[in-house]
């Protein structure tokens, strides 16, 4: 397949005034009739009338009532169209029951549902399936289903039919239809201008007890977007539907958001605190898309970060406002480094705005989403809060109803602030994680910080000119007091120095506060300096970062030189854990250790080939040493942070549980699981139960709990996903593949449900020590299953191939084993375009 290039963009030759669709539902033979009013686009030079269409059986087609025979290919059709307004009519037949790819119209547990982003609408009917073609849609659904939903406001309905009208012009990727035996959890919201909005969360019977939290999250989101961005909802109705079989988290279809059930259904008994926080964030994210994505959409898929980066940034602001901003920032940076830095430093590296793709589904990445959000954060830091909101107001005013570009977005900021953002634009076009080397000098009361930026080459991009970087810096005096409050230094050169005067003594710098730019900071710091920052930094992110760096330096020395656990780290982290003035959630995060993958990348960057088993051994040794070091403190913390009273998934309670469960992890290393078993037996919420379950598995005492957990929860597919994944994640490295393999033989394992597939094989891929075990069993098992999944669900298969993206870090033996598996995938007959592109890029 040929790549598509950003530079080749041309507008479609026709505009659409209205779309009328009639669906006659039937699992294996749904009929779709379309009536579309086209007119020539005065801004287009290419007037080819091409409609996308895939896997459609064309029954009839007509232009202005005259039956025609279009020219068909497997991508769509072309026809002769008049150079004047005309009406296109077609009828097609599709087979939702056979649609295992979960794109277009498909069936999940007997329910009809759709997923059209990015290019799924072409599997429903012939249409110009591109985001810059926007139109109002009217939909009639005919069927025997109890509930039949589409976008917009409801129209007429009766026995066997329901009609919907969406007045807001939208691209086809925002189309949605749902029909089935559903129950609603209702709600209501009054917008700031007094519009009454009916809210519903639609679920399968049996799940109605898990909707209340999602409904509250939706109302908070609606209010927050009014308060912070001045954005009001614009329809009479907002529906959310929970679907079990879904390729990603959720989808922002206009007025009819569709959610992976794991991202909306919640109850204390079945969901962890982490699940609640994630659900709240995803509901907000999809809701916020109503303005950043739907009212203003993307001109083409290269502009995906325009809606995704901005919406991720907005949902992070929301979570920070509702919960704890420092905790959210630390969690986000952990995730950014784990997923985006990993991507940016390997064969799949690409710009936040890519310049070409073969399959757009492969570009819903951490780079587009999470790095895209970091760019919004940097822009806000550079222009300041007031100018940011002024620019956003102008963006909404100028581009409402548009399919916009990154150029449009940056122009708004330039016009609102008078700044030239051409250098900033490099963050959108240049892939790779920049490195920031720091050196310093102090003499006669003047302190100088010198920065040098560089970005390693990435596929197809060798040269990286300097970017503008907001570097937030504070300075601490020798007694730990802040002698310079946070100041944003604006770096524009490859090398640049900044001076601070009037300092009585050499300060300790706190650099890249709040992680003000997505970079790798390279500074030779002593243990003493890290411990000092951990104790005194007023910036919570850098306080946490200092502890993390201390742990990492110690672990690297253990791995490389066989050093013992670093006592400076053990003392410093114990002091943080003991400090009751600090937020318990922060303390729990500070006690986390760098991940296996993070350590592997750091070793590799430093010229050492990482040995996954050696990394695992070092982490285990440090955990054990820490448990001993904190043997008096851990039981005290465990007792002190038990939560009394009714379960609430709020920041205060979840922070306390997080610290208590961290303490439980330490206790388990010394008591062999006795306390964990007591917690498991007494738990009345999933946070407590799952934490205890993990401890028991880690301690090798999980056998009874595995059986008990399954017996208790076998009726609940979302909890059973946890059961699958925890057994894999907690297995010892030499057992990981065997455990995953055995679970694929379990009666409840199915390839057709992406959640279950990810819970089992995704868990294998996300357990680096086990996945990269020298036997190669992990590589082989994952490959076996990816090859089986590809013909059913190319999108999920392709995404999971990224398990192999770090392969060039490892030794020759592992590289050979992986190359064999990658070649095996590529040699598979009829491999999908999605998987072919991913594996080809990884193979390099």
The contact set with Zn ion (CB under 5 A) reads 308, 311
Distance, in Å, from the CA atom of 345 to the CA atom of 624, rounded to the nearest integer, reads 32
Q: Which of 277, 286, 300, 598 binds ligand HT7 (CB under 6 A)?
A: 286
364 binds, among ligand HT7, Zn ion, none (CB under 5 to 8 A by kind): ligand HT7
Spatial contact of 90 and 128, defined as CB atoms under 8 Å apart: no
Tell me how far apart the alpha carbons of residues 466 and 785 are, in angstroms, rounded to a whole number. 43
Taking the C-alpha atoms of residue 199 and residue 15, their distance in angstroms, rounded to an integer, is 33
The stretch among 284-292, 507-515, 712-720, 822-830 that binds ligand HT7 (CB under 6 A) is 284-292
Q: According to the binding rule CB under 6 A, does residue 285 interact with ligand HT7?
A: yes
The yes-or-no answer on residue 837 being catalytic is no
Q: In the bound complex, what is the minimum distance in angstroms from residue 253's beta carbon to Zn ion?
A: 12
Q: In angstroms, give the least distance from the CB of 251 to ligand HT7.
A: 4
User: Is residue 758 involved in binding ligand HT7 (CB under 6 A)?
Assistant: no
Q: Which one of Zn ion, ligand HT7, none interacts with residue 247, CB within 5 to 8 A by kind?
A: ligand HT7
Q: Which of 182-219 are b and which e, b meaning 16 or more Cβ less than 10 Å from the residue's Cβ?
A: bbbbebebeeeeeeebbbbbbbbeebbebbebbbebbb
Secondary structure class of 782 (helix, strand, coil): helix
Take residue 449 and report the two structure tokens written for it. 């910080």
Residue numbers 234-263 binding ligand HT7 by CB under 6 A: 246-248, 250-252
By beta-carbon proximity to Zn ion, the closer residue of 311 and 365 is 311
Q: Out of Zn ion, ligand HT7, none, which partner does residue 382 contact, by CB within 5 to 8 A per kind?
A: none
CB of 796 to Zn ion, least distance (A): 18
Contacts 24+ apart (CB under 8 A), 610-617: 610/559, 610/809, 610/810, 611/559, 611/811, 612/733, 612/768, 612/769, 612/772, 612/773, 612/810, 613/733, 613/769, 613/773, 613/774, 614/559, 615/555, 615/559, 615/768, 615/769, 616/733, 616/769
Cα pseudo-dihedral 480, 486, 490, 491, rounded to 10: 20
Give CA angle at 454 (451, 457), nearest 5°.
170
Catalytic residue among 89, 145, 286, 359: 286
CB closer to Zn ion out of 277 and 308: 308
Angle between helices 612-629 and 567-578 (to 10 degrees): 50
DSSP string, 280-305: HHHHHHHHHTTTBTTTBEESSGGGHH
Site string for ligand HT7, 688-727 (x = CB under 6 A): ----------------------------------------
Choose from Zn ion, ligand HT7, none: what does 342 bind? Cβ within 5-8 Å by kind: none
Q: Choose from Zn ion, ligand HT7, none: what does 179 bind? Cβ within 5-8 Å by kind.
A: none
Q: Which is nearer to ligand HT7, 260 or 661 (CB)?
A: 260
Residue closest to ligand HT7 (Cβ): 248
Q: Which tokens go with 342?
A: 């990993």
Beta strands 469-476 and 508-511, pairing class: antiparallel
Q: Which is nearer to Zn ion, 317 or 668 (CB)?
A: 317
**C-beta neighbour count of 454 within 10 angstroms:** 14
From the CB of 97, what's the least distance to ligand HT7, in Å? Answer: 19
DSSP 539-571: SHHHHHHHHHHHHHHHHHHHHHH-PPPPHHHHH
| Closer Cβ to ligand HT7, 289 or 548, answer by number | 289
For ligand HT7, the closer CB: 318 or 638: 318
308 binds ligand HT7 (CB under 6 A): yes
- Tokens 């007494």 appear where? 682
**Contact of residue 248 among ligand HT7, Zn ion, none (CB under 5-8 Å per partner type):** ligand HT7
Using the rule CB under 6 A, is 225 a contact of ligand HT7? no
Contact between 683 and 660 (Cβ < 8 Å): no
Helix 596-605 to helix 612-629 angle, to the nearest 10 degrees?
A: 120
Report in angstroms how near the CB of residue 116 gets to Zn ion at its nearest. Answer: 14
Q: Per CB under 6 A, does 315 bind ligand HT7?
A: no
Query: What is the closest distance, in whole angstroms, from the C-beta atom of residue 250 to Zn ion in the complex?
Result: 8
CA atoms within 13 A on the CB side of 537: 26
Shortest spacing between CB 352 and ligand HT7, in angstroms:
15
740 binds, among ligand HT7, Zn ion, none (CB under 5 to 8 A by kind): none
294 within 8 A of 170, measured Cβ to Cβ: yes
* Closest CB to Zn ion among residues 308, 332: 308
Q: Long-range contacts of range 140-144, CB-CB < 8 Å, 24 or more positions apart?
A: 140/20, 140/21, 140/22, 140/23, 140/164, 141/22, 141/23, 141/25, 141/177, 141/179, 142/22, 142/23, 142/24, 142/25, 143/23, 143/24, 143/25, 143/26, 143/112, 143/179, 144/25
Closest to Zn ion by CB, 225 or 308: 308
Closer CB to Zn ion, 311 or 698, in the complex: 311
Question: Does residue number 834 form part of the binding site for ligand HT7 (CB under 6 A)?
Answer: no
Q: What's the closest the beta carbon of residue 220 comes to ligand HT7, in angstroms?
A: 18
290 binds, among Zn ion, ligand HT7, none (CB under 5 to 8 A by kind): none
Site size with ligand HT7, rule: CB under 6 A: 14
Place of tokens 């930026």: 453
Hunting for tokens 């410093």 — which residue is that? 572
Binding of residue 210 to ligand HT7 (CB under 6 A): no
266 contributes a contact to ligand HT7 by CB under 6 A: no
Binder of residue 251, out of Zn ion, ligand HT7, none (CB less than 5 to 8 A by kind): ligand HT7
Least Å distance, CB 307 to Zn ion, is 7
Helix, strand or coil, per DSSP, at residue 34: strand
Reference 743, options 733, 729, 774; nearest CA is 729
Minimum Å distance from CB 171 to Zn ion? 14
Nearest distance, CB of residue 689 and ligand HT7, angstroms: 29
Q: Is 364 in the site for ligand HT7 (CB under 6 A)?
A: yes
Looking at 285-293, 377-385, 419-427, 808-816, which segment touches ligand HT7 (CB under 6 A)? 285-293
Angle value at C-alpha 202, between 254 and 712, nearest 5 degrees: 135
Q: Can you read off the two tokens belonging to residue 137?
A: 């849609």
Contact predicate 383/417, CB 8 Å: yes
Q: How far is the CB of 215 from ligand HT7 (least distance, A)?
A: 19
Cβ-based nearer residue to ligand HT7, 119 or 553: 119
799 touching ligand HT7, by CB under 6 A: no
* Burial class for 724, CB neighbours closer than 10 Å (0-12, 13-18, 19+): buried
CB 311 within 8 A of CB 375: no
Angle between the 540-561 and 527-536 helix axes, to the nearest 10 degrees? Answer: 150
Nearer to Zn ion among residue 369 and residue 804 (C-beta): 369
If the CB atoms of residues 103 and 545 are measured against Zn ion, the closer one turns out to be 103
Q: Which of residues 109-128 bind ligand HT7 (CB under 6 A)?
A: 115, 117-118
Nearest approach, Cβ of residue 759 and ligand HT7 (Å): 17
Q: Is the peptide bond before 118 cis (omega within 30 degrees of 0)?
A: yes
| Cβ atoms 765, 257 nearer than 8 A | no
Place of tokens 């999470």: 370
Tracing tokens 């757009």 back to the chain, one arrives at 360
Contact residues for ligand HT7, defined by CB under 6 A: 115, 117-118, 246-248, 250-252, 285-286, 289, 308, 364
The residues carrying an active-site annotation are 286
């Amino acid at each position: 397949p040929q790549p598509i290039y950003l530079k080749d963009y041309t507008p479609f030759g026709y505009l659409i005034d209205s779309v009328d669709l009639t669906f006659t539902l039937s699992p294996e033979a749904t009929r779709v009739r379309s009536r579309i009013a086209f007119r020539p686009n005065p801004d287009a030079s290419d007037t080819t009338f091409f409609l996308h269409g895939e896997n459609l059986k064309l029954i009839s087609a007509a232009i202005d009532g005259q039956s025609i025979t279009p020219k068909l290919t497997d991508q769509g059709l072309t026809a002769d169209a008049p150079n004047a307004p005309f009406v296109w009519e077609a009828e097609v037949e599709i087979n939702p029951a056979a649609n295992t790819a979960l794109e277009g119209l498909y069936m999940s547990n007997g329910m009809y549902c759709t997923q059209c982003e990015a290019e799924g609408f072409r599997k429903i009917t012939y249409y110009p399936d591109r985001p810059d073609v926007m139109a109002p849609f009217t939909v009639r659904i005919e069927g025997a289903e109890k509930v039949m939903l589409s976008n917009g406001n409801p129209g007429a309905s009766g026995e066997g039919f329901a009609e919907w009208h969406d007045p807001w012009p939208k691209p086809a990727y925002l189309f949605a239809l749902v029909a089935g035996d559903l129950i609603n959890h209702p709600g209501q919201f009054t917008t700031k201008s007094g519009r009454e909005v009916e809210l519903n969360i639609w679920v399968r019977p049996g799940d109605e007890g898990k909707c209340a939290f999602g409904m509250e999250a939706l109302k908070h989101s609606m209010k927050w977007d009014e308060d912070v961005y001045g954005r009001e909802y614009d329809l009479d109705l907002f529906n959310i539907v929970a679907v079990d079989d879904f390729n990603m988290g959720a989808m922002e279809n206009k007025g009819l958001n569709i959610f992976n059930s794991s991202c909306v259904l919640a109850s204390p008994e079945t969901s962890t605190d982490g699940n609640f926080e994630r659900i709240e964030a995803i509901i907000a994210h999809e809701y916020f898309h109503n303005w950043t994505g739907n009212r203003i959409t993307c001109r083409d898929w290269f502009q995906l970060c325009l809606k995704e980066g901005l919406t991720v940034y907005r949902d992070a602001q929301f979570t920070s406002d509702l919960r704890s901003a420092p905790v959210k920032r630390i969690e986000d940076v952990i995730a950014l480094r784990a997923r985006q830095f990993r991507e940016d430093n390997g064969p799949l590296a690409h710009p936040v705005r890519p310049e070409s793709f073969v399959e757009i589904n492969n570009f819903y990445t951490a780079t587009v989403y999470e790095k895209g959000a970091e760019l919004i954060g940097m822009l806000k830091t550079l222009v300041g809060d007031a100018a940011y909101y002024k620019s956003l107001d102008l963006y909404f005013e100028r581009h409402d109803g548009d399919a916009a570009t990154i150029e449009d977005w940056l122009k708004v900021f330039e016009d609102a602030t008078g700044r030239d953002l051409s250098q900033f634009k490099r963050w959108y076009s240049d892939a790779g994680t920049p490195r920031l080397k720091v050196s310093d000098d102090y003499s006669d009361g003047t302190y100088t910080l010198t920065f040098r930026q560089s970005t390693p080459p990435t596929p197809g991009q060798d040269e990286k000119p300097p970017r503008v970087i907001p570097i937030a810096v504070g300075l601490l005096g020798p007694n730990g007091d802040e002698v310079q409050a946070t100041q944003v230094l604006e770096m524009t050169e490859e090398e640049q120095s900044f001076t601070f005067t009037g300092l009585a003594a050499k300060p300790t710098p706190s650099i890249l506060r709040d992680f003000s730019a997505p970079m790798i900071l390279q500074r030779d710091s002593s243990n003493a300096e890290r411990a000092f920052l951990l104790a005194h930094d007023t910036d919570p992110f850098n306080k946490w970062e200092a502890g993390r760096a201390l742990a990492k330096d110690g672990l690297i020395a253990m791995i490389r030189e066989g050093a013992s656990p670093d006592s400076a780290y053990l003392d410093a982290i114990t002091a943080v854990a003991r400090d009751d003035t600090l937020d318990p959630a922060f303390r729990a995060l500070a006690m986390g250790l760098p991940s296996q993958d993070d350590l592997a990348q750091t070793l590799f960057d430093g010229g050492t080939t990482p040995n996954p088993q050696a990394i695992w051994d070092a982490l285990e040794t440090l955990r054990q040493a820490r448990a001993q070091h904190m043997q008096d403190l851990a039981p005290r913390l465990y007792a002190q942070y038990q939560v009394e009273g009714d379960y609430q998934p709020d920041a205060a309670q979840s922070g306390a549980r997080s610290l208590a469960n961290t303490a439980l992890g330490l206790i388990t290393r010394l008591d062999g699981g006795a306390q964990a078993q007591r917690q498991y037996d007494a738990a009345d919420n999933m946070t407590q139960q799952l934490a205890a379950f993990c401890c028991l598995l880690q301690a090798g005492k999980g056998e009874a709990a595995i059986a008990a957990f399954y017996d208790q929860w076998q009726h609940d597919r979302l909890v059973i996903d946890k059961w699958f994944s925890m057994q894999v994640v907690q297995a010892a490295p030499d057992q990981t593949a065997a455990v995953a393999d055995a679970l694929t033989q379990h009666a409840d394992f199915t390839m057709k449900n992406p959640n279950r597939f990810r819970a089992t094989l995704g868990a294998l891929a996300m357990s680096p020590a086990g996945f990269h075990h020298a036997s190669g069993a992990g590589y082989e098992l994952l490959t076996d299953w990816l090859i089986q999944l590809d013909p059913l669900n190319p999108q999920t298969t392709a995404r999971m191939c990224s398990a192999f993206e770090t392969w060039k870090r490892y030794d020759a033996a592992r590289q050979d084993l992986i190359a064999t598996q990658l070649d095996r995938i590529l040699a598979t007959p009829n491999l999908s375009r999605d998987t072919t592109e991913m594996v080809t890029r990884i193979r390099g």
